[in-house]
Amino acid sequence: MKRSPAESRLPLNESDKAAYDELMSLAPDGALSRWLVPDEVIRKWVAAANAASRGELIHKHRPLKTIRGPIIVTGSSAEGYQLSPENYRRYDQPVRLFALANTDAIITLYQYWYPRLAQAYGELGIRNKSFHQVVIGAIDNVLAAPDVEGPIQLIRPSVYYKFADPKLEKLPGIQKLMIRMGPDNAARVKEKLKEIKAKLEEMPVQEQTQ
């Protein structure tokens, strides 16, 4: 259903239920309820996109629920650690849901809610680019993640694991996440984001905040 942009004038502070319900509609049978955070929906997605445009992951006030459980590795301190394929499977469901979501429906929601997305972005006090440019930049950062095949070696200098390869360890956080989800999941995410980006680049966007 085609809607007028004026219909998205629902006040930002009253938008949570409507925005959450429409995001939920992107997958059947309430499947996204396991992953979507229902409060401050627009502000949290804006904050996540803004962080991703800098290559960063947002750790507080996330729009998506955290993947359960610690990172899964094989090996030992004596023989060395490797990222386990079991770790990749933790990301299978959210990646599958994202890949199967209708791209046109995603774009329709983005257009519909853009005035409120732009308003929430304006609250961050950033004036050098539009939120639309931020979204494109975030997608570009994800697409720039290297494709890593084969075993991924890890080290554990303290509590947390790090990539043994200094080049991987120096990558932005958003690209490290792509590696942690495994090559198959990363490929599916990239394929979907390429579809979304192509449509976003064709789309005229007005910076409406009223």
Domain count, the chain: 1
- What is the Cα–Cα distance from 9 to 15, expressed in whole angstroms? 9
Q: Is the pLDDT of residue 28 over 50?
A: yes
How many residues are there in the chain?
Answer: 210
A 10 A CB-CB count for 77 gives 8
What domain range is 34 assigned to?
A: 5-202
- Out of 69-73, 97-101, 125-129, the most confident range is 97-101
C-alpha distance from residue 171 to each of 9, 176, 177, 186 (Å): 39, 6, 10, 15
Our measurement of the distance from residue 112's CA atom to the centroid of its chain's CA atoms, rounded to an integer in Å, reads 19
Is 207 among the domain residues?
no
Token pair of 63 as six digits? 């729009």
**Is residue 3 packed enough to be buried (19+ CB in 10 Å), middle (13-18) or exposed (0-12)?**
exposed
Is 92 among the domain residues?
yes
Is 124 among the domain residues?
yes
Q: Which residue has the tokens 């396991």?
A: 34
Confidence of residue 205 (pLDDT cuts 50, 70, 90): low
Is 63 among the domain residues?
yes
Is 136 among the domain residues?
yes
Share of the chain above pLDDT 70, in %: 93
Confidence of residue 210 (pLDDT cuts 50, 70, 90): very low
C-alpha distance from residue 182 to each of 17, 44, 190 (Å): 33, 26, 12
Report yes or no on whether pTM surpasses 0.75: yes
- Angle, helices 173-180 vs 131-143, to 10°: value is 50
Is 45 among the domain residues?
yes
Residue type, 20: Y
A 10 A CB-CB count for 148 gives 16
Q: Is the pLDDT of residue 209 over 50?
A: no
Is 43 among the domain residues?
yes
Q: Is the pLDDT of residue 42 over 70?
A: yes
The more confident residue out of 204 and 178 is 178
CB within 8 A of 59, min separation 6: which ones? none
- What is the Cα–Cα distance from 37 to 71, expressed in whole angstroms? 22
Is 74 among the domain residues?
yes
Report the alpha-carbon angle 162-165-171, nearest 5: 70
Confidence of residue 206 (pLDDT cuts 50, 70, 90): low
Q: What pLDDT does 159 receive? A: 87
Q: Which residue has the tokens 């984001």?
A: 193
